[in-house]
Structure 1
Amino acid sequence: MTISAVPMFDTSQVQSASAHSVAEWSAIAGARFVPLRLLALDPFSGSIRWRYIEQTCISEISAGAHRVLRTDELISPDDPRHFKVSLQLEGTGIVAQDGRETLMRPGDIAIYDTSRPYTLEFTDEMRCIVMAFPQDMFDVPASLIRRITAVRLPGDDGVGALLSPFLRDLGENLGEWTGVTGMRILRATLDLLTALVYAQLAEPHDHWGESGRAEMRAFRLFIDAHLGDPHLSATTVAKAHFISVRYLQYLFSEEGMTVSDYIRSRRLEHCGIDLSDPAQADLSVQQIAQHWGFRDASHFSKVFKRHFGSSPRQFRASHLGAHA
């Protein structure tokens, strides 16, 4: 067994280790992030090259047939909570978690969560790229990730066709990703992964469409109830529902708008109703605008005219008569 003397979390250079027996492989790969049980038959050989960029580890792994088990008894509350993203480069593999399993062929991508049991099985010689990163680095709620663990994410279509070669280059050129360049490449990779996850969640599996519509109804009700708050924004909506701003914006973008567009549109609709209501004729335009969250009179006048085609005063006059 050859193991680099460089400390595991050294970010300054590429590290490597190789094994020539099952016992050596277990010593090398069995506890790199969290405790794992590895099963294989001798003769066995395997090798790992890895590099840390910040708290994220990118590894290129080559090995013979083997199984990797992350079982309940191996999981401790003190274990680091990581997501792992695997890109199959050679051979095939089976990833199983959360009651699902998927067959991975070269180019395919899968996500799994180290805080819950999972199984990896490789029936022949294999090579893959694995990126492991703390869950709090990823701008996707863990509850959503749970819906697509052990789901095949195709690397030859859509966002996957962008991410797959990106991950391949990342793993095969570990020595190049240093300093600021490495951090930028990492961030770009996570952004592509985020896009891939949301694209997958938008697919009509696991009744996702129904649950997504229910979430949108909840967001709209919350926004309508807080339109008068001048500080209402995508951030406050996301925080109130314990989700990320990115995810909230994604759901609204699926309906062709931003959160800000929706808030502004609903405020303008209410202003239009009030300005055309004779019972509120004693209220000034500014009072009505402020009631619905518009603090700047000039800004309100501009967005109102753009929305309705006339100024607030002209709109009110046309609906209430010349003496309004």
Structure 2
Amino acid sequence: MPMGLDIVVSGPAPTQLPGAGRPQPARRAHRLVARDSGEYLFVGIRGAAGVRGGSGAHSPRQPEDVFLTPGDICFYDAHDPAALDFPECFRTKVFLVPYESLGLCETDVRRLAGTSVPRMSRLGSLLSPFLSELADTASSSRPPVGELLAWNAVNVLATLATERLGRDATCTPDARTPMMARILEFIDLHLTDEDLSPETIAGAHHISARYLHRLFQDEGTTVGRWIQRRRLEECRRDLMIRVRGGRTIAAVANRWGFMSATHFSRVFRAAYGMSPSEWRDTVGRGTPASRR
């Protein structure tokens, strides 16, 4: 699955939601309560840094009940899973995905934990059955098909997260300062420059490199990681668009600032769960033009 996405399909009631750590009842800010037996969809958001959910790591509080009906989609922090209060007979389908893959920051994760998309809402009625079927199909499909389905799942979940956060989401472009918006635009315009660095970015905006790093820290990432992520996204897009164009993987990598093909292949696999050639071949098999 791409970008560390895991899909967990379970039958009888689990004792706890899948997560990265042991259960910590004193820190849980939410208790998920089922209104009836049936199937429930969960989105577990995780991060390498150990994102913590709504209660915070230092001030435990009483759980807040979140009531769910069958078919509802609920977000939770995979590093601090919510408590379950469900009937004996229910089924779960859980999507575990890194928060960066959803375009979120740590603050967004704290705001999303415990929020749900009701099955009877406009988005829920459209996406709940789609995600349910996608979970079954992706988890049982061979790698090429499973990878493409999983990409669809990530895009759908990112849309849901954006909808839940609303216009005032902490880390969405609309909420960024004008300075940060200009910096991100500058980075996008200079992604092909091999000398793009924190120093050149800071100098172009007449700020110190230290202040630049602080701005990205507030976004939950670093300057280097942001640049690498954007370059990888452009490389992945180029490999998909130019699958029949004859351009080599090394040429695509070099165009977007990766001077070492070995390094590019390593970071591409770490980000997307497959090598650049595997991604190109998968897209090639999945496009109608490639089957002519």
User: Do both share a fold (TM > 0.5)?
Assistant: no
TM range (shorter): 0.3 to 0.5
Q: Which has the higher helix share?
A: 2
Calculate the TM-score normalised by the size of structure 1.
Answer: 0.41
Question: Rg bigger for which structure?
Answer: 1
Q: Which has the higher strand share?
A: 1
User: With CA pairs under 8 Å and 6+ residues apart, which has the higher RCO, 1 or 2?
Assistant: 2
Calculate the TM-score normalised by the size of structure 2.
Answer: 0.45
